[in-house]
Amino acid sequence: MIAELQVLPRPSGTDDDPHAHVEAAIAVLRSSGLQAEVSALGTTFEGPPDAVWAALRAAHEATLAAGATFTISVVKLAEGAGDDGPTMDRLTRKFRT
């Protein structure tokens, strides 16, 4: 399963670290053991469905635990039947240099 997650916590961070609450979600995804790629507007990651769902929830909750008073998570998912679903590599390989 592939997921793309954009978190929109309010506030997005602190005076000292303006993106601290967003970065808390990224840290959760990076430490999840799943392959993850951070981009300007979200993080894409992939793995077994149960692990992806758990990582989505943990990243969402991490924004609140980091100090956000409100958060919205925008999620996109891609999954195929069985083990023959899309992968990040298959979807992006021809665009990488």
pLDDT at 22: 98
Beta bridge partners of 73: 7
Q: For residue 77, give the amino acid letter.
A: L
Q: pLDDT digit string (tens) for 31-86?
A: 999 999 999 999 999 999 999 999 999 999 999 999 999 999 999 999 998 777 88
Task: State both tokens at 16.
Answer: 């000292």
Q: What is the CATH number of the domain that holds 74?
A: 3.30.70.930
3-state SS, residue 45 = strand
- Total of domains in the chain: 1
Region 17-30: mean pLDDT is: 98
Cα of first residue to Cα of last residue in the chain, in angstroms, is: 24
Q: What are phi and psi of 17, to 5 degrees?
A: -140, 90
- Residue range of the domain that includes 84: 2-95
DSSP code of residue 70 = B
| Cα dihedral value 49, 67, 24, 51, nearest 10 | -10
